[in-house]
Structure 1
């Protein structure tokens, strides 16, 4: 199914956002209005395709929210690295297969390459879980949008130049490596996937920052400070 919109923000989405999206709920009324406008701008610039099911409003709300949250601190933002979102009903394998005969299906989200360049592939199950449970510090869609931000300098390397224009990358990389070492020694509450490589650490830490900022500020104050500076937002 193909979905694209340039319509105005549906009034009833406000109530849904208040219930489902904690980031939106924390905003003052004027900023909520700006969030709404940014959602509709994003939805007017990409298409959403579903595989195996009919899209529902909540799917669209969650995708647009995931796109806006990481870049809300920037007054003017467009994603040049994505033109379409493809939603699968559940996790998929490396060949983007999700049937019962597809073997292990461990992937919840990915940025496409080759024929899928400028596409994001998401598990619907993971998309919804990211907004249903903030205590687990996980949000697959935000994770993938952060990869897209990282990719804007043509390198998905955990050093997003577009976000770090006024920051020194050296202390950032030292902190990243220290945190990854702690993860790999099982001495951190940042999830293990963040210890695999720099790019994944940045995306995993971003999930943590947006899902449970108070906990990050308490447990990882230096990381919280750098993430807040990166994304130009404080909680």
Structure 2
């Protein structure tokens, strides 16, 4: 009887091993056909992609492809274009590019509005206070992200600022991966670095609120927004951040660039 049980267990282990290998194989470069025109589009529009090596660019495209396979992208009151989808996918992959096999398990749908919107998600020309470019949904919009198409494109066309709305919102999703958005992303930060990280965050926030920092003012409103705003800066202008905020750059590099 023991012999039979042992054989069954061995067969089960072999079966799991086969499934795992098969699953990994489906995510390899050889099993994904990337549209050839993506390369030119990304070179023109995504600086992060342009700065990657050829092999890294291929890997980046595969990860974008996988993201688009499992994520619904829906346009509200306008016709969705391929560039819209590619910029959203690039925004999703940039913060997690160095992560192995990352998936946004807390996202199913990205809704794109044609313009900025207000707190009630209204975006018509008659709506006042349309100043929101993106948000991570809660309540009935849980597992959804809402982006302004105008803000999405601006984040990539303006290559001299330190902002990117879509990247900002995907960093919020990373923060939310541990179940709560609190500015302390457990998926990015090892526990022993939590206190040093928060000390650095509060120091930088104080500088922002005293008008002694070039980090966007919105980053001084809370630890939650500081992480996303600083993350935008890190990916949009890494050399500038490294020069002006070396300690913060080093901390974010440890968070986002770990493999």
Q: Give the counterpart of 2:110 among 85, 88, 100.
A: 85
Is 1:27 aligned with 2:52? Answer: yes
Q: CA deviation at 1:136?
A: 1.1
1:8: Cα distance to partner?
Answer: 3.5
Which one of 134, 157, 161 corresponds to residue 186 of structure 2?
A: 161
- State the distance in 2 between where 1:199 and 1:144 align: 11
Tell me if structure 1 keeps the 8 A contact 2:177–2:187.
Answer: yes
Q: How far is 1:76 from its partner?
A: 1.1
Matched, 1:64 2:73: no
Structure 1: how far apart are the matches of 2:127 and 2:243?
42
Q: TM-score, normalised by structure 2?
A: 0.86
- Counterpart in 2 of 1:4? none
Report whether the alignment pairs 1:14 with 2:39.
Answer: yes
TM-score scaled to structure 1, two decimals?
Answer: 0.94
For 1:224, which of 230, 239, 249 is the aligned residue? 249
Residue number among 231, 238, 243 corresponding to 1:206 in the alignment: 231
| Unmatched segments (≥5 aa) in structure 1 | 1-6
Q: Any conservation in 1 of the 2:99–2:258 contact (CA below 8 Å)?
A: no
Instruction: Give 1:166 deviation, angstroms.
Output: 6.1
Q: Partners in 2 of 1:150 and 1:184 — Cα distance?
A: 23
User: Which structure has the larger Rg?
Assistant: 2
> Any gaps of 5 or more consecutive residues in structure 2?
1-31
Q: Report the equivalent of 2:169.
A: 144
Tell me by how many angstroms 1:75 deviates: 1.5
Match of 1:120, SS? strand
- After TM superposition, the structure 1 stretch with the greater mean CA deviation from structure 2, 43-52 or 163-172, is 163-172
Distance 1:166 1:18, change over 3 A: farther
Tell me whether 1:184 sits opposite 2:201 in the alignment.
no
1:213/1:233 Cα in 2 relative to 1: closer, same or farther (>3 Å)? farther
1:125 positional shift: 0.4
CA displacement at 1:228 relative to structure 2: 0.4
Normalized per residue, the structure richer in helix is 2
Question: Hey, what's the Cα distance between the residues in 2 that align with 1:98 and 1:123?
Answer: 9
Please identify runs of 4+ aligned residues in structure 1 that moved more than 3 A. none
Residue equivalent to 2:76: 51
- Segment drifting more, 197-206 vs 92-101: 92-101
